[in-house]
């Protein structure tokens, strides 16, 4: 019986790299910043309409991921 | 002798505590004592922060009007949010806010960093100049708003005379607070005048935190002053600049007092920033539910920005 260790190691490595506080906080920060820009931009009313949802999502995400391990 | 008398005083006081009270206190665990001390703070926080926030969230989903509190409150769901987020007038107010925030932050950062860079050179009397530069930020926004209203007077205002002196035009030929084109810039000038010193202070802290040996090493490597500025000063002061930018951005996003005193949102709605629109909806139209929804939208935005601010602050702390 053979066990494919390579794929599980690669998967765990990727999860370790991505599911950490630093990168996730960076993503949440980018979403918040995008929401604020959408709120105040003068180009599209549709973007303005979605700004609150975007900022709220980013803020909730930031609050959650700030509890994730370093 | 003194030590003895001090220890005897302590013993005397210990004896003075009633035995039943002392026994009761001794019986409490550290955890209970800690809860005993922080409970008043938690109760106060809940009463003046958390409860009003939750109440505002509730009101934002209803048709409640503060001036008609006897009318039955009806649950509307997210109607007010939909209404605000599709309203071109509110969108325009957001753009006025954006104009105010972007220009004040840019001007304050450039001037603040420039001043900090000069003050950091430690010339003769730099302490006195620092104090003089810091004076505007020590004033109340209400005072600043009032005296800049006088400075902007077209007939007697000093600002108009200074501009007239440099441009050659008549002092009464323009109105900073009454002109549709000039009034958004009038509030930017006042805010920049008042808060540039604050940005300077933060930048100065950043510049002072750069160790001298880095510059000495750069001197040894014959790096030019410009190269030292680009490769050492700017990158090492950047977290502090970011902090100042975020702080001023958040503060100006919710700016109310100074703009209300200077222009009251006018002429028309050219200086009607989001907080002025909110005040008009809440206390002139008495649309409490609607204004609660608007307040929550602004709150979430500020809360999001505050998260970024705290992250930047931690970055600065870890240096």
Which residues of chain A neighbour B305 with C-beta distances below 8 Å? Answer: 32, 36
Which residues of chain B neighbour A59 with C-beta distances below 8 Å? Answer: 300, 303-304, 307
Rounded to a whole number, what is the distance in Å from the CA of A29 to chain B's nearest CA?
6
Residue A20 lies in a domain: yes
| pLDDT level of residue B23 (50, 70, 90 thresholds) | low
Domains of chain B and CATH, by start: 2-59 (no CATH), 79-317 (1.10.3720.10)
pLDDT at B73: 87
pTM of the model: 0.82
Give the best residue of B83, B184, B307 to mutate against chain A (max A CB count within 10 A).
B307
Does A29 contact B88 at a Cβ distance shorter than 8 Å?
A: no
Residue A18 lies in a domain: yes
- Average per-residue pLDDT for chain B: 88
| pLDDT level of residue B1 (50, 70, 90 thresholds) | very low
B121, burial (CB in 10 Å: exposed 0-12, middle 13-18, buried 19+)? exposed
ipTM of the complex: 0.80
Does A59 contact B304 at a Cβ distance shorter than 8 Å?
A: yes
What proportion of chain B, given as a percentage, has pLDDT over 70? 92
Does A29 contact B307 at a Cβ distance shorter than 8 Å?
A: yes
Rounded to a whole number, what is the distance in Å from the CA of A16 to chain B's nearest CA?
21
Number of compact structural domains in chain A: 1
Residue B182 pLDDT greater than 70, yes or no: yes
In tens, the pLDDT along A25-50 reads 889 999 999 999 999 999 999 999 99
Which residues of chain A neighbour B308 with C-beta distances below 8 Å? Answer: 29, 32-33
- Greatest mean pLDDT among B86-95, B158-167, B309-318 lies in B86-95
Neighbouring C-beta atoms of residue B246, cutoff 10 Å: 19
Q: Is the peptide bond before B267 cis (omega within 30 degrees of 0)?
A: yes
Q: Which of A7-11, A26-30, B94-98 has the least mean pLDDT?
A: A7-11
Residue B25 pLDDT greater than 50, yes or no: yes
What proportion of chain B, given as a percentage, has pLDDT over 90? 64
pLDDT at B134: 92
Residue A70 lies in a domain: no
Q: Measured between CB atoms, does A47 come within 8 Å of chain B?
A: no
What proportion of chain A, given as a percentage, has pLDDT over 70? 74
Q: By residue range, what is the domain housing residue A38?
A: 5-65
Residue A10 pLDDT greater than 80, yes or no: no
Q: Measured between CB atoms, does B304 come within 8 Å of chain A?
A: yes
Residue A62 pLDDT greater than 80, yes or no: yes
Which residues of chain B neighbour A27 with C-beta distances below 8 Å? Answer: none
DSSP percent split of chain A into helix, strand, coil, nearest 5: 80, 0, 20
Residue B300 pLDDT greater than 60, yes or no: yes
- Average per-residue pLDDT for chain A: 82
């Amino acid at each position: 019986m053979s066990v494919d260790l390579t794929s599980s190691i690669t998967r765990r490595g990727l999860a370790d790299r991505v599911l950490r506080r630093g990168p996730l906080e960076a993503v949440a920060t980018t979403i918040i910043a995008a929401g604020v820009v959408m709120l105040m931009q003068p180009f599209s009313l549709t973007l303005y309409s979605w700004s609150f949802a975007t900022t709220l999502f980013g803020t909730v995400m930031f609050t959650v991921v700030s509890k994730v391990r370093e | 002798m003194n030590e003895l008398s001090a220890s005897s005083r302590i013993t005397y006081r210990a004896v003075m505590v009633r035995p039943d009270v002392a026994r009761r206190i001794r019986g409490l665990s550290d955890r209970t004592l800690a809860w005993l001390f922080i409970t008043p703070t938690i109760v106060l926080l809940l009463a003046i922060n958390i409860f009003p926030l939750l109440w505002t969230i509730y009101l934002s989903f209803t048709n409640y009007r503060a001036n008609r509190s006897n009318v039955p409150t009806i649950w509307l769901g997210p109607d007010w949010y939909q209404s605000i987020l599709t309203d071109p007038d509110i969108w325009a107010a957001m753009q006025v806010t954006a104009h105010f925030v972007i220009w004040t932050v840019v001007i304050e950062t450039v001037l603040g960093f420039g001043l900090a860079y000069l003050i950091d050179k430690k010339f003769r009397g730099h302490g006195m100049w620092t104090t003089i530069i810091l004076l505007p930020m020590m004033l109340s926004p209400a005072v600043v708003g009032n005296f800049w209203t006088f400075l902007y007077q077209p007939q007697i205002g000093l600002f108009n005379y200074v501009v007239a002196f440099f441009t050659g035009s008549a002092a009464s030929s323009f109105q900073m607070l009454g002109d549709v084109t000039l009034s958004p810039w009038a509030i930017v000038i006042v805010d920049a005048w008042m808060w540039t010193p604050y940005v300077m202070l933060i930048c100065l802290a950043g510049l002072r935190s750069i160790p001298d040996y880095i510059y000495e090493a750069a001197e040894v490597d014959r790096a030019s002053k410009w190269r030292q500025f680009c490769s050492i000063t700017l990158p090492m002061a950047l977290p502090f600049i970011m902090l100042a930018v975020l702080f001023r951005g958040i503060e100006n996003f919710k700016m109310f007092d100074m703009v209300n005193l200077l222009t009251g949102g006018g002429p028309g709605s050219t200086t009607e920033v989001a907080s002025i629109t909110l005040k008009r909806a809440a206390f002139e139209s008495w649309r409490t539910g609607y204004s609660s929804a608007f307040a929550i939208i602004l709150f979430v935005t500020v809360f999001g920005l505050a998260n970024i601010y705290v992250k930047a602050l931690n970055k600065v702390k870890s240096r």
